[in-house]
Structure 1
Amino acid sequence: MPTLTELNLYPIKSCAGIALREATLTPAGLMVENIYDREWMVVDERGGFMTQRDFPKLALVAPRIKADTLELRAPGMLRLEIPLGLPDPEEEKTLSVRVWDDSVEAYDCDETTAVWFSRFLGTPCRLVRFHANARRAASAKWTGGADAPTLFSDGFPMLVISEASLADLNGKLEAQGRAALPMNRFRPNIVISGIEAFDEDVAESFRIGDAKIKPVKPCARCPMPSVDQSRGEFGPDPLDILRSYRANPRVDGGITFGMNAILLEGEGQVLRVGQEVEMTLAF
Structure 2
Amino acid sequence: MRKYMITVSELAVYPIKSCCQNVVTERLVDAFGFSGDRRWMVVDKSGKFITQRQYPRLVLVAVEEQDSGIVISAEGMEPLAITTPSVSDTSQLSVQVWKDECQAISAGSEADEWFSHFLGIECCLVWMPDTFLRQVDRAYASTGDQVSFADGFSFLLISEASLQSLNERLDAAVPMRRFRPNIVVSGCDPHEEDRWDRIRIGDIEFSVAKPCSRCVMTTVDTGKGVKTGEPLRTLASYRRQGNGIFFGQNLVHHGQGEIKAGMAVEVLKYK
**Residue 262 of structure 1: how far off its partner (Å):** 0.8
Percent of aligned positions that are identical: 40
Find out whether 1:261 has 2:254 as its counterpart. no
In structure 2, give the amino acid aligned to 1:93: S
Q: Which ranges of structure 1 fall in alignment gaps of 5 or more residues?
A: none
Matching residue within 14, 30, 33 for 1:29? 33
Give the secondary-structure state (helix, strand or coil) at the position aligned to 1:216.
strand
In structure 1, give the amino acid aligned to 2:259: L
Q: Which residue of 2 aligns with 1:156?
A: 153
TM-score, length of structure 1 as denominator length: 0.91
Matching residue within 225, 240, 248 for 1:247? 240
Superposed CA offset, 1:40-69 (max 9, x none): 000001111000001000000000113423
Q: Which residue of 2 aligns with 1:58?
A: 58
For 1:103 and 1:202, the matched residues in 2 are separated by 33
**Residue 132 of structure 1: how far off its partner (Å):** 4.0
In structure 2, give the amino acid aligned to 1:157: S
Find out whether 1:121 has 2:139 as its counterpart. no
Which has the higher mean CA deviation after the structures are superposed, 131-140 or 209-218? 131-140
Q: Which residue of 1 aligns with 2:174?
A: 181
For 2:92 and 2:238, the matched residues in 1 are separated by 44
**Residue 146 of structure 1: how far off its partner (Å):** 5.6
For 1:125 and 1:209, the matched residues in 2 are separated by 40
In structure 2, give the amino acid aligned to 1:239: L
Q: Which residue of 2 aligns with 1:2?
A: 6
Q: Which ranges of structure 2 fall in alignment gaps of 5 or more residues?
A: none
Give the secondary-structure state (helix, strand or coil) at the position aligned to 1:135.
coil
In structure 2, give the amino acid aligned to 1:188: P
For 2:131 and 2:28, the matched residues in 1 are separated by 21
In structure 2, give the amino acid aligned to 1:60: L
Q: Is the 8 A contact 1:7 1:189 kept in 2?
A: yes
Q: Is the 8 A contact 1:4 1:273 kept in 2?
A: yes
Q: 1:220 to 1:200 in 2, by over 3 A?
A: same
Find out whether 1:203 has 2:196 as its counterpart. yes
Superposed CA offset, 1:105-154 (max 9, x none): 110111111110000011110100014432111111122x3642001000
Aligned Cα RMSD in Å?
1.4
**Residue 171 of structure 1: how far off its partner (Å):** 0.8
Give the secondary-structure state (helix, strand or coil) at the position aligned to 2:15.
coil
For 1:11 and 1:45, the matched residues in 2 are separated by 21
Residues 42-121 of structure 1 mapped to structure 2, 5 A cutoff: 42-84=42-84, 86-87=85-86, 89-121=87-119
TM-score, length of structure 2 as denominator length: 0.94
For 2:53 and 2:76, the matched residues in 1 are separated by 22
Q: Is the 8 A contact 1:94 1:105 kept in 2?
A: yes
Find out whether 1:18 has 2:22 as its counterpart. yes
Give the secondary-structure state (helix, strand or coil) at the position aligned to 1:95.
strand
Residues 203-282 of structure 1 mapped to structure 2, 5 A cutoff: 203-249=196-242, 253-265=243-255, 267=256, 269-282=257-270
For 1:209 and 1:112, the matched residues in 2 are separated by 40
Q: Is the 8 A contact 1:51 1:58 kept in 2?
A: yes
**Residue 281 of structure 1: how far off its partner (Å):** 4.2
Q: Is the 8 A contact 1:164 1:193 kept in 2?
A: yes
Give the secondary-structure state (helix, strand or coil) at the position aligned to 1:11.
coil
For 1:64 and 1:186, the matched residues in 2 are separated by 21
Aligned residue pairs total 267
For 1:111 and 1:3, the matched residues in 2 are separated by 43
Give the secondary-structure state (helix, strand or coil) at the position aligned to 1:53.
coil
Q: Is the 8 A contact 2:135 2:143 kept in 1?
A: no
